[in-house]
Amino acid sequence: MPKRPNFLFLITDQQRADWLGCYGHPVLKTPNIDAIAARGTRFDNFHVASPVCMPNRASLLTGRYPSLHGLRYNGCRLPLSANTFVDLLGNDGYHTAAIGKSHLQPFTNLPPMGRDLEDSSEQSEAWKKDDGDYAQEEPGRYRSDGKYEFQTPYYGYQHVDMVTSHGDRCGGHYHQWLREKAPDWQALHDDANELPHNYSCPQAYRTPIPEDLYPTAFVRDRAVDYLASRSDEDDPFFTFVSFPDPHHPFNPPGKYWDMYSPDDFEVSLPFSAHNNPTVPMRWLHDGWKNSGRQTTPQTAMMVDDQQVKEAMALTAGMMAFVDDAVGDIMRALEESGQLENTVICYNSDHGDYLGDFNMLLKGALPFRSVTRVPFIWSDPASRKADSSNALTSTVDLAPTILERAGIEPFNGNQGKSFKNIIDGGQGARDELLIEYNDGGRRLGFEKPARVRALVTQQWRYTIYLDQDWGELYDLQNDPHETHNLWDSADHFKTRAKLAERMNHHLAAQMDESPLSERMA
Q: What percent of the chain has pLDDT over 70?
A: 97
The letter for the amino acid at 195 is L
Give 440-464 pLDDT, tens digit per residue. 999 999 999 999 999 999 999 999 9
- Asked, for residue 356, whether it belongs to a domain, the answer is yes
Mean pLDDT of the 330-335 span: 98
Question: Sorting pLDDT into bands at 50, 70 and 90, what band is 124?
Answer: confident
Q: Concatenated DSSP letters for 85-137?
A: HHHHHHHTT-EEEEEEE--SS-S--PPPTT--HHHHHHS--SSPPP-S---TT
Give the span between the Cα atoms of 100 and 222, in whole angstroms: 9
- Asked, for residue 181, whether it belongs to a domain, the answer is yes
pLDDT at site 117? 47
- Asked, for residue 451, whether it belongs to a domain, the answer is no
Whether 434 contacts 455, CB under 8 Å:
yes
Q: Strands 41-43, 6-13: parallel, antiparallel or unpaired by DSSP?
A: unpaired
- Asked, for residue 374, whether it belongs to a domain, the answer is yes
Give the span between the Cα atoms of 242 and 102, in whole angstroms: 7
119: pLDDT strictly greater than 60:
no
pLDDT at site 415? 97
Neighbours of 431 (CB within 10 A): 18
Lowest mean pLDDT among 67-76, 205-214, 372-381: 67-76
pLDDT at site 14? 98
Q: What percent of the chain has pLDDT over 90?
A: 88
Give the span between the Cα atoms of 43 and 67, in whole angstroms: 26
Mean pLDDT of the 51-57 span: 95
Average pLDDT, the chain: 94
Q: Which of 55, 54, 12 is nearest to 321 (CA)?
A: 12
Lowest mean pLDDT among 91-95, 189-193, 268-272, 295-299: 295-299
- Asked, for residue 398, whether it belongs to a domain, the answer is yes
Whether 301 contacts 442, CB under 8 Å:
no
State the residue range of the domain holding 160.
6-111+134-424
Backbone Cα Rg of the chain: 22
The letter for the amino acid at 419 is K
* SS3 per residue for 48-84: CCCCCHHHHHHHHHHCCCHHHHCCCCCCCCCCCCCCC
150: pLDDT strictly greater than 60:
yes
pLDDT at site 36? 98
Question: Sorting pLDDT into bands at 50, 70 and 90, what band is 122?
Answer: low
471: pLDDT strictly greater than 90:
yes
Q: Which of 171, 172, 131 is nearest to 149 (CA)?
A: 172
Q: Strands 41-43, 386-388: parallel, antiparallel or unpaired by DSSP?
A: parallel
Name residues whose C-beta falls within 8 Å of residue 323's C-beta, 6 or more positions apart in sequence: 29, 30, 31, 32, 33
Q: In the chain, how many domains are there?
A: 1
Question: What CATH number has the domain bearing residue 316?
Answer: 3.40.720.10
List the helix and strand counts (H, then E) for the chain: 14, 17
- Asked, for residue 491, whether it belongs to a domain, the answer is no
Give the span between the Cα atoms of 501 and 312, in whole angstroms: 37
Q: CA angle, 127 as apex, 164 and 140 as ends, to 5°? A: 25
Q: Which of 424, 370, 375, 428 is nearest to 399 (CA)?
A: 428
pLDDT at site 295? 75
pTM: 0.96
- Asked, for residue 517, whether it belongs to a domain, the answer is no
Name residues whose C-beta falls within 8 Å of residue 128's C-beta, 6 or more positions apart in sequence: none
Give the span between the Cα atoms of 260 and 278, in whole angstroms: 33
Give the span between the Cα atoms of 170 and 150, in whole angstroms: 17
- Asked, for residue 123, whether it belongs to a domain, the answer is no
Give 160-177 pLDDT, tens digit per residue. 999 999 999 999 999 999
